[in-house]
Every structure is written in structure tokens, then in C-alpha cells.
Structure 1
Amino acid sequence: MRALSIIGIALGFFTAVYYFLDSHLDWFYIFSPAELHELSLKAIEAHGNDTAAVVKYIVEDLSAKQPLHVNLDEEWVFNNAGGAMGAMYIIHASITEYLIIFGTAIGTEGHSGRHTADDYFHIIRGTQLAYAPGPGSFSPEIYPQGSVHHLKRGMVKQYKMEEACFALEYARGWIPPMLFFGFADGLSSTLDFPTLWRTAWVTAREMGVNIFRGKF
């Protein structure tokens, strides 16, 4: 009985801590959707469909503002999640935020996942379609270059990136639980373990570095 009491107290304590932190996640954020949208528009205005130049513009601007928390090495890796395949470059990863460039040169389609964070897809090239608000809808949501697709925490959509499409993707909330979705296809279908290992290593390294520097 004593052991059960200790477990109950521990669960109650950690639940209280979780709900407290969850209601104050904004304490930990260093990026904002509005600022990232403005930056994306400036980069597009400066470089149009030269996506490499757009990415460089964005990363250099972010690095100037947050030099300790931006990864300047363009370590591109393939990414399979929810049946969709593309490539990504991790700009920032921490417990409460991640910022990546995600996209594909040939198009892809899949399941968005149901996440513990809000996800903002800033389209920097091409067009993304979404089947929303859910089953029973008969027209797609359309997100062209320069727009933002906000997938709210806990929601789910089917999405499609037609032909070449790239986005500055920003998630804010609880990031670690999202990793299960990010790694599931690699463990269960593609079995591309070198890519899985590389993705896990870069993610863990960036999260570790940011924790060391006081960014959660």
C-alpha cells in the first residue's frame, strides 16, 4: 500500500508540473509565427523561386538574431513520416520548438500526424494542398507560396505537396512526443537505418546543445 501511495503522490506531482508548464510554454519560445512569416515573405521577395537563396536568407537572418540556437550547417537528410517523403534541414531543435526546412523537388503526399505542438508551414516555394477540416469535405485548402498552413495542436489532415514544394516549418509545443511519428516510417516500412540514425543524431545533438545553453 505504501508503494502505491508513493506512486500516486509522484503521479500527482508530475501531472501538476506538466499542466503548469504546459500553460506557460510561451516562457520558452524564442521564435514566433508572425516573425517567421514576415521573414519568409522578405526572403521570397528578395529571391523568388531560387529556393537555395531563400533558405540562405532565412537562416542568416535567424542566426543574426539567435546566434546560439541556429544550426548553420545544411545537414540535409531524407525524411519519411506519415507516408510522405521529402528532405529536411534542421535549423533548430529543442524541447519546446523546432524549425526546419522541409520539402521535395518532385512532390509527395501523406498524413500530417496528430501532434502535441502547433505546426506552422510557411510555404517558400510551390503549393501545398490539405484535405480539411476533415472527412466529408469536398474541396481542398490551398496554400500557395508566401502563405502559412497552421496545423493546430491535436488536429490531423491529409496533405499534398504538388511537384516542387518547400516550406519553413515551425513547431511550438512539446516536441519530443512528435519524434515517434517522425521515426515510425523508418522503423516499420522504409527500414532506412542510415537515414534514421543520421536524423536521430542531428536532432539529439541540437536538442542537447540547446538544453546546455539553457533553451528548453
Structure 2
Amino acid sequence: MSHRFDPDVLQQMVEHVAGLQLDSRDLISRTVELLAEEYPDLIDPTPGRWVGSKAGGVLGKVRFLYFSTREYLVIFGSPTGTQGFSGRYKHVDIHKFLLTGQIDSYDLESEDIEPLPALLPGGHTCLQRGHARGLTIHPGSWHLEYGRGAVVTTLPFAMVDTLAVSLEFESVRRSTIEFSRLIGRRRRR
């Protein structure tokens, strides 16, 4: 079974958008427009609402663009910044394409005690299966995140912190509504 999204195409889009002199809101809107043009059967040009998300201590806002059992695509970020644990996904590769801001990270298991190169606008990084990072997302940073693999295995990490630590049931409810909306849209096509 082939994948629907191409990381190289996503990279080219983000490089283009990151080079525009736009504020964060317009960068995000333009990114969604380009994605809807490139993937008209997959991306709705009028995406759902923003949902609060806390996973691994990383608190931010997420907008779901696509969700299936094998792939997901979201925009994630924070106007004020955040830091925490990337998660460790044994069955999913996580690609981050930075639209604006900066993300600093470091590998949790390597012998290297230096940070990885900073992710800057237009840049791309991939958290490969089985690896984990500590990260800092600077204020005003927004990125396109693409997950490829057994996506359902990411949901416990994505939801447990929000539920068990924050007791933020409304965000989980809203996330569930957005997942259902995207899956329903796919089934109607």
C-alpha cells in the first residue's frame, strides 16, 4: 500500500511558504491552501478548529488536516513557547517542517551532549522510529507535522498527558470530534 503524502513535496511547500513575508496566521492559511491545491482529495481548504494538546509536557495548539490509520498531517505550535519530550514511537516516523520560529532538540540516548542543529523556518527534521528527543519550541513557532506508519500507536502518548496529568477532558473531546470529522470526510469520498 502506498502513502498519500510525499515528504519531499511537503518540504518544498514549507520552504516556499517560510520564505514569504507573512505573519503566523497568514503563513498557516497559505500552507493549508497549498496543501489543499496539491492534495485536493485529502485536505479540506477550510480545516477544523484549533485544539489544545499536551503530550510529553509539550503544550500547544494543533489543527488536524488529515488522519488515517497509516498517516496524519497537522499544524502544531505555540504562541508563547513550550518544551518537553518528543515521545518514542516504535511504528511511526514523525516529520517536522518548520513554518516560522525555531525548535531546539537533543537526542536522549546518544553519547553526544550537544544539541542537534536548530530547526529554522523552511527546515525539516525526522524523528525516526524508536528514537526520542528533548525539545524546546520557541515562542511563535509553528510547524507542519507529518506522521507515517501505524498512526493509531501514537494516540496513547497524544492523549494520556492531556487526560491523566492535565485532566483536560474538553481537549480530548474536541480532538475526537476532529478525528471523526476527518475520517468521515475520507469515507464520503
TM-score of the alignment, normalized to the shorter chain, above 0.5: yes
Shift of 1:189: 0.7
Q: Hey, what does 2:114 align to over in structure 1? A: 139
Instruction: State how far apart, in whole Å, the 1-side matches of 2:25 and 2:178 are.
Output: 21
Q: Deviations over 1:74-99 (max 9, x none)?
A: 41011000111000111111111111
Identical positions, percent: 27
Shift of 1:212: 5.0
- RMSD of aligned alpha carbons: 1.6
Q: Hey, what does 2:28 align to over in structure 1? A: 55
Instruction: State how far apart, in whole Å, the 2-side matches of 1:172 and 1:211 are.
Output: 20
Q: Of the candidates 133, 157, 161, which is equivalent to residue 181 of structure 1?
A: 157
Correspondence 1:59-138 to 2 at 5 A: 59-71=32-44, 72-115=46-89, 116-132=91-107, 134=109, 136-138=111-113
Instruction: State how far apart, in whole Å, the 2-side matches of 1:164 and 1:52 are.
Output: 10
TM-score, normalised to structure 1, is 0.81
TM-score, normalised to structure 2, is 0.91
Segment of structure 1 superposing worse, 130-139 or 99-108: 130-139
Shift of 1:163: 2.1
Gaps of 5+ in 1: 1-26
Instruction: State how far apart, in whole Å, the 2-side matches of 1:187 and 1:34 are.
Output: 35
Q: Deviations over 1:180-203 (max 9, x none)?
A: 111011221111111110011211
Is residue 19–residue 122 contact of structure 2 (8 Å, CA) maintained in 1?
Answer: no
Segment of structure 1 superposing worse, 203-212 or 189-198: 203-212
Give the SS at the match of 2:26.
helix
Amino acid at match of 2:167: L
Amino acid at match of 2:177: W
Larger Rg over CA atoms: 1
Between Structure 1 and Structure 2, the one with more helix by share is 1
Is residue 78–residue 87 contact of structure 1 (8 Å, CA) maintained in 2?
Answer: yes
Shift of 1:208: 3.8
